[in-house]
Chains A and B, each alone.
Chain A
Amino acid sequence: MTADLSEAFSFPPQPDPDADSRGFWAATAEGRLAMCRCQSCGLWLQPPLERCRVCAGPTEFEDVAGTGTVYTFIVQRQAAVAGYLDKVPYVVGLIELDEQLGLRLPGRIVGVEPGEVVCGLRVQAELVDLPGGEYRVPVFRPLGAE
């Protein structure tokens, strides 16, 4: 990337929390991964909602184990989004969390060579600082890897 663009593009997009998502970011700030869950029927909801999409029950953020499986993934070879420009190639996966079939979070997969990532890989979330602001975000590392 050329120098004149490096400043503007040096940081990744920052989240803009809303009333439904604030609990997610409050939890990551405290080092926890929490997802939105219906307090009536127990359904996990992503993206989060004020009321359950199935039973309209009230929701709260509850901690999740942070373990999951790579449903699918991409290897980013060319910078397409601001930030991480010096990190290409990087891997982003859709991680299916163990709490519920189909409950997925997008996240970078770290601690493994891009060529080693496969669908079905078991991963564990960890929280890292998001460059350029005050937020922390989950990234995922293969289970058992250091």
Chain B
Amino acid sequence: MGRDLSLLLPELILMITVTLMLIGEMVRFSRVVLAIGLAGLALATWQSYLLLGTDASVFGGTYRINYIAVWSKLILLPATALSLLLARGELAGRFREGSVYSLMVLVSLGALMLSGSGDVMLIVLGVVLTGLGSFALVAYPADDAATEASMKFLVYGSVAGAVMIYGVTFWYAGAGSTLFSALVTIGDKPLLAAAGLLALLVGLGYKAALVPFHFWAPDAYDGAPISVAAYMSVVTKLAAIFALAQVFTYLPIATGWQWAIAILAALSMTYGYLTALVQSNLVRLLAYSSIAQSGYFLLGLVAIGFSALALDSLIIFGAAYAAMNIGAFAIILVGGRDMDKFTGLGRRSSIVGVAMVVFLLSLAGIPPLFGFFGKALLFGAAIEAGFLWLVIIAILNSVLSLAVYLRVIVAMYMAEKEAKSEQKSTLATTIVWVLTLAITLLFGLITQVFTGASIF
């Protein structure tokens, strides 16, 4: 048990952090809340780093501390810290800003449960915990748009969660246990397996905003504060992807999960980018782009068990996606939500413009930026698993994505008709985009940090 606790240190630290943050928020010391949050996240990240190379499970196999789980902590915790800073930049001085910080950390705790889950029940808990916090985060501005967005999100999330809970009971019926490791036998009961898989995909697909479970995402992102949109598009999405990775490590291939994932991937990429192409609201544009990016993650998922690159590609692209997506949202926070407000941004402020260009080109997968290396590995993994057709669809979508992102870039470098937009740049926001810019630019070149010794 003592060993179990040491393995759970990051989660325990996070729990204590949230408690302290709530106490700080009760007395409205928002700066203190922020400081506690950042310190707790840093400490938890450090403890996660020490766990690298561990492959263990606790609580009777229901919670895993393995390659995916540890790396997901190392991605999600810093991403949460960046989101906190972004929230500070956006909401400083607003009523109860501290509750945003504490909710974010709380939701991240749920995200860690998802990405480390070794049991169906833990996935349910993780989905519910991340969901509850996210509903409140979206509703935070308390205006009409946010309330509507949160309402939609809540209804959608409740239904998806209910379907999932109902469906995964079939797995329990088939396998006699809720552990993933028991799922290896479910291949002989195809109907039960399919029902459970479908339910799981509804629940986690909704969390990861995969087509066709994505409808909530653009509205929720747009209604929420920009920092919350950035947070949800990265942390909760990645948690769901990593949770799927944990499940597919055990789920027998006979259930057909590979094909289900491949089809979702093709749909998400294509639908996401086609819709992004006509958006004029940048938050919505990034929302659809992040739906498409979820599709790219699935290329790594289909290869689990068939390619040594699969897990690495998920982790590297996960890190890249976290950096470039948060960075892009940070620039939107500086420039404004509307494409109109972005007109001429690159000419007014060349460094902010260059940063946005880097984030967008990285999202499109142009080398030598971080996003490229992630995508190249995802493609390699999917090819090795025999999904060449899916990679070709992904490649065609990459061309489409370039059109999506170039629209923003072109607008940024057009001569502006009249000087109009006010830029609101705060120190916290600047820290966020400078850090993510450095990661996006340089981490591709030092990708070997992420390719651990556990493969090959």
Are A and B genuine complex partners?
no
Residues of A within 8 A of B (CB): none
Chain B residues with CB under 8 Å of chain A are none
